[in-house]
Amino acid sequence: MADLDKCVSLCEKLRSNKVLHKHMQWIFLVITVTGSLLKEMQLLPDWYFNNKRNVLNVYFVKLAWGWTLWLLLPFISISNFYISKKDPVFVLQRLSSLLVGTVVWYTCTHFFVFIEDLTGACYESESMDVIKMDYSSKLACKKSGLFWRGYDISGHSFLLAYSTLIILEETALMSDLKNISQRPPESVRAIVSVFYIALNVLVVIWIWMFFCTSVYFHDFTHKLCGTSFGILAWYVTYRIWYQKPFSPGLPTRQERKVMPNQRRYSQNSD
């Protein structure tokens, strides 16, 4: 447990940087612009991470929302359960933020595919000399072994930025778990710590792969649009909607007060 506490403290210390905590959305935009400039100037050599088959891209980025969802689900459940003094309604309310995030991910990624189909055309080869009029979608074109060229909004830029911002929001209450009156059992704290550390490792991977996407893949406007969609989705939810009633609400940064009926429920459940 002592080693876990040290790792948690290290993560909290690294995240205490105000620039990282308050301006991560702008950092993503800066990475997009500077990375695209490096790509256009071809200043960086080819290496392992500009190969789409690299292990982080194949096993993590391709499944980015799954990884984000799988690690956040238990972390939000357990941490908010104790922060709220074992209020199951509040836990379900906070978990609904993951449902919202899934709807945002699904809607945006399908919208990007729609835009690419709408603006694209199928070609016989990458040289785009001969156009094939029989195909109206990228999927059908690719299945025939042909080449599709359309406005390809970067799904990687969108999802990596969006997932990182959500993780930073949802894990910000970790330090508050140490100060609540009814602290979780040591075994539960160990589980929460493992998920917290794993989520921070995931953030490092997402930011690194976001950088690799910026310097090696996509056109500048494709990445800028994808990043902007990710930031906008985070801002509309966490900075606007979640601060209002009838929403999943924000991750509480302090122990919630319990109403009498909630206290009776908690006592009965114990």
Report, as residue numbers or ranges, the catalytic residues. 156, 218
| Burial category of 40 from C-beta neighbours within 10 Å (exposed 0-12, middle 13-18, buried 19 and up) | exposed
Token code pair at residue 148 = 């599709």
Q: How many CB atoms lie within 10 A of CB 165?
A: 22
Phi-psi region of 143 (alpha: psi -120 to 50; beta: other; left: phi over 0): alpha
Token code pair at residue 158 = 């969108």
Neighbouring C-alpha atoms within 13 Å toward the C-beta of 80: 25
Does residue 246 sit in helix, strand or coil? coil
**CA of residue 106 relative to chain centroid, distance:** 13
